Structure 1
Amino acid sequence: MEPKGHILVVDDEPSMRTALSILLRRKGYHVSQAGSGREALEIVRHGHCDMVLTDLKMEGVDGMELLRQVKAISPHTEVLIFTAYGTVASAVEAMKLGAYDYIGKPFDEEELLLKVARALERKALVREVQELKAELKGHRGAQEIIAKSEAMREVLAKVAQVAPTEATVLIEGESGTGKELIARAIHWASPRRNQPFIPINCSTLPETLLESELFGYEKGAFTGAERGRKGLFEAAHQGTLFLDEIGDMPSSLQGKLLRVLQEGEVRRLGSTKPIRVQVRILAATNQKIEHLVAHGVFREDLFYRLNVVRIPIPPLRSRVDDIIPLAHHFLEIYRKKTKKEIKGFSQEAVQALLNHPWPGNVRELENAVERGVILARSLYITPQDLSLGLPPYSGIVPGDSMTLKELQRRHILSVLQQHGGNQAKAARELGIGRNTLWRRLKQYGLLP
């Protein structure tokens, strides 16, 4: 059996080194030993090592210095520090320097093995994300995939796994989370990368127009059809068709989509002749499809066809580590567009960005940064430039206790009020689609 990973055990006590090595080898790991920090550095410099398991207190090069130098030589090698002399301060310092974790002696064997397994899983995750980004390098929009948070790294790792396959993928996430960007990443990292990627939003077109767009039509199929036209399935032949907001697809078209998935052929409107197509389907939704199935709005058999691999994209509010990197990414874009000399965000603006609930997710963040760049009067964007605060009418005062859903509701209503009830302008300000805004207002009981 191939070893699960190469672990270097570093301790100046031979008995501890031996005991740890035996434990790890029994679990299938390849293990090397070093009796000092200096010896460990020689091993790291001259050979591949997935993880270093080191004591903190050693003569000469101690565990903390070893951590610093290992990260300088091999940044992606995970380091786990153990010690009988640990303090909170030393643990914090170790984590700041890049240690995966810090464990005190004597330690529980199961706890140690769990930490080792998780550290190596993280290393594999980081490697998959790096490989995916290398695959996507040079593609338009690929650089916009910011994955500092663990949640987004897991998303990209799944993208890397599914991209080389032919599997149908269902991408779930709130409006503005970047579902189409993930779909494009899957396409660009797939064997179909040199073939068409064709997106269509199922919620923006009337039923009859959506049907003709997807399946095409023959001359005379309906009034105004003066000549035949290929549908998007034919146009995407050998490539990828991305069906955005699939949950809004009319039930009459769901059956036709199911037939395409099952039989690999389409029939244009006005024709009985089947046309073979070889298309990979990626679908996305901001709704819970299971709920639509339960209410008879979405076909169960189509759901199972689409739900071969599911990739949920977390909302921005649950991946706080991505907010500031994304903000700086958008700042760079709009600084170049406006040719304004802006160095960054004030400390107060950074705090405002981190505290905002982002109901419109990444799209709303991009809009806020663009607004901040345009309105900034100094070298640093301020909270006033971002205009993230709710107006007084919302009733929010310090100490208010409310759910996130209620906070989002108030924010949406305040923006709508600012624009005099104009839904198109409010949706643009919030960074969400008009249909999403319409659904939210209907949920709030403000529409019939």
Structure 2
Amino acid sequence: MHNIMIICPDQSPLKESEKWLSRYGFHVNTSATIEQANRYYEWSEFHLLLIDQDSIASLENASSLLPSHLRRIVLDARPSLSTGVDSMAQGAIYYLPLPTDSETVLKHVVNALEQHDDTPQTDEATPSQQSDEDAFTLGTASSGIIGQCAPMQALFSDMRKIAGTDVTVLIRGESGTGKELVAKALHNLSHRHNQPIISVNCAAIPDNLIESELFGHEKGAFTGASTSHDGLIYAADKGTLFLDEIGELPLEAQARLLRVLQEGEIRKVGATQSTKVNIRLVTATHRDLIAMVRQGLFREDLYYRLYVMELLLPPLRDRGDDISVLSQMLLEKACQKHKRPIYHYNRAFDKAIRSHHWPGNVRELENAIERAVILSPPERVEAANLKLASHQSSTQQGTATLTQQGKTFTGTTLDDYLKYFVQTHQSTMTETQLAQSLGISRKSLWERRQKLEIAKK
């Protein structure tokens, strides 16, 4: 049987948890204050602590009064991003709003107990263990990647297991899910964290320059090469190289990258001698590399070199309560960016966000919240200013028909036309020509490709 301590004032909504947690088979004790719990109980008897933020808000050294080994969930009747970050930094596994329904609390209680051995530990821990835990905790703001849902916890578990190795990692997930954040977190958890991490977006570099950018070139290797250039792989020596959108890497560059992985050396464009490098390679893609292998667009031997360890990022729509936590953080960030007072994260705003499908994932969420901050009045952030409903209703309107080069286009938005135009012309036009024809920059075209998932032929 698991022993749970609840610390909360008598009038707290958390007080009700004692009854139904007991019904589920937990042995529950309650205390009004931390001092009372210290006086009457031995902390070593408990597996988990549920604590009302009001019980510790007035205590300057509340964290020091609680044993470091005891896992805890903090619940707050006035939740805020800053309090949540502080609570997680001080050892809380979860930070939840009050009042909270019994099903939500039960789910987090079970998750917290399953994350560790059921046997209570002593307060003693080695200095190295304490410093490692304090320095970088996945799922908190300090790690750069936030998440408490089950898919994210599974991801964090895998990350902890592989971070200390030099194994090659392939990160897969939809566009906008935060693949680069995962790569940086892996680097920060690794023994290479004091060395550089070099991030390269393979889709953002023109095909004729990618080899020079990655592998370097000698002076005079091609027209315009007036000086020698070391390349980004060499810059990542002894550190981590992150290749985002690896599926966009040209076949010639794929062959060179394969040699780096097999031999641990690079040869500059135009050079006769190779240079040894020691890198940890992390790659990412939203594309189906196996399908690309079948189509001859990706080298099979390179695929199996990259597919040593795979990390899967869940889409935002599958992350449950994480959506609200991320939204609160992004709302505060947008307010600070645009020098607005910090808006209260209200229920209507949250409901609008939770009801949207978010095909663009976290990137789309961040843009929508920034839009709402800019358009809302000073006293209140308004859900209507997310502009989500108008976007959804536009897809229900009558379609417009447009004929070009003998083909008929049927769609409702500019994005529909852009996707049609690129897919129709990409076999006969370069990326630069496509961008010029559409009246946008090459970078904007690449961003639209990612957002609309328009694969290159």
Q: 1:281–1:423: structure 2 CA closer, same or farther, 3 Å change rule?
A: farther
Equivalent position SS for 1:255: helix
Per-residue deviation, 1:248: 1.1
Q: What are the Cα deviations for residues 121-157 of structure 1, in whole angstroms up to 9, with x where unaligned?
A: 33479xxxx998743379x984541112111122122
Q: 1:172–1:238: structure 2 CA closer, same or farther, 3 Å change rule?
A: same
Q: Give the conservation status (yes or no) of the 8 Å contact 1:217–1:230.
A: yes
Q: 1:144–1:51: structure 2 CA closer, same or farther, 3 Å change rule?
A: closer
Mapped to 2, the partners of 1:252 and 1:267 lie a distance apart of: 13
Per-residue deviation, 1:255: 1.2
Equivalent position SS for 1:170: strand
Code of the aligned partner of 1:260: V
Equivalent position SS for 2:42: helix
* TM-score normalised over the length of structure 2: 0.65
Code of the aligned partner of 1:212: S
Code of the aligned partner of 1:210: I
Q: 1:196–1:207: structure 2 CA closer, same or farther, 3 Å change rule?
A: same
* TM-score normalised over the length of structure 1: 0.66
Q: Say what the alpha-carbon RMSD is for the aligned residues.
A: 4.1
Per-residue deviation, 1:393: 3.9
Q: Give the conservation status (yes or no) of the 8 Å contact 1:197–1:240.
A: yes
Code of the aligned partner of 1:395: Q
Per-residue deviation, 1:355: 0.8
Q: 1:132–1:328: structure 2 CA closer, same or farther, 3 Å change rule?
A: farther
Residues 1:47 and 2:44 are matched in the alignment:
yes
Q: 1:37–1:320: structure 2 CA closer, same or farther, 3 Å change rule?
A: closer
Q: 1:386–1:131: structure 2 CA closer, same or farther, 3 Å change rule?
A: farther
Mapped to 2, the partners of 1:223 and 1:124 lie a distance apart of: 63
Q: Could you say which residue in structure 1 is the equivalent of 2:311?
A: 311
Equivalent position SS for 1:148: coil
Mapped to 2, the partners of 1:192 and 1:95 lie a distance apart of: 41
Code of the aligned partner of 2:296: G
1:24-35 maps to which residues of 2 (within 5 A)? none
Per-residue deviation, 1:412: 7.8
Q: 1:124–1:201: structure 2 CA closer, same or farther, 3 Å change rule?
A: farther
Mapped to 2, the partners of 1:175 and 1:282 lie a distance apart of: 17
Mapped to 1, the partners of 2:343 and 2:280 lie a distance apart of: 43
Q: What are the Cα deviations for residues 312-356 of structure 1, in whole angstroms up to 9, with x where unaligned?
A: 101101113111111111111121222212432342221110011
Q: 1:410–1:423: structure 2 CA closer, same or farther, 3 Å change rule?
A: farther
Q: Give the conservation status (yes or no) of the 8 Å contact 2:178–2:362.
A: yes
Q: What are the Cα deviations for residues 286-318 of structure 1, in whole angstroms up to 9, with x where unaligned?
A: 112122122222112111111111001011011
Q: Give the conservation status (yes or no) of the 8 Å contact 1:169–1:283.
A: yes
Equivalent position SS for 1:344: coil
Q: Give the conservation status (yes or no) of the 8 Å contact 1:132–1:156.
A: no
The number of aligned residues is 345
Code of the aligned partner of 1:435: R
Q: Could you say which residue in structure 1 is the equivalent of 2:450?
A: 436
Q: Could you say which residue in structure 1 is the equivalent of 2:365?
A: 365
Q: Give the conservation status (yes or no) of the 8 Å contact 2:168–2:308.
A: yes
Q: Could you say which residue in structure 1 is the equivalent of 2:170?
A: 170
Q: 1:412–1:349: structure 2 CA closer, same or farther, 3 Å change rule?
A: farther
Equivalent position SS for 2:390: coil
Code of the aligned partner of 2:163: A
Equivalent position SS for 1:381: coil
Q: Could you say which residue in structure 2 is the equivalent of 1:323?
A: 323
Mapped to 2, the partners of 1:385 and 1:194 lie a distance apart of: 43
Q: Could you say which residue in structure 1 is the equivalent of 2:297?
A: 297
Per-residue deviation, 1:359: 1.1
Code of the aligned partner of 1:47: S
Mapped to 1, the partners of 2:390 and 2:215 lie a distance apart of: 45
Q: Could you say which residue in structure 1 is the equivalent of 2:267?
A: 267
Q: Give the conservation status (yes or no) of the 8 Å contact 1:216–1:268.
A: yes
Equivalent position SS for 1:242: strand
Q: Could you say which residue in structure 1 is the equivalent of 2:114?
A: 121
Q: 1:175–1:166: structure 2 CA closer, same or farther, 3 Å change rule?
A: same
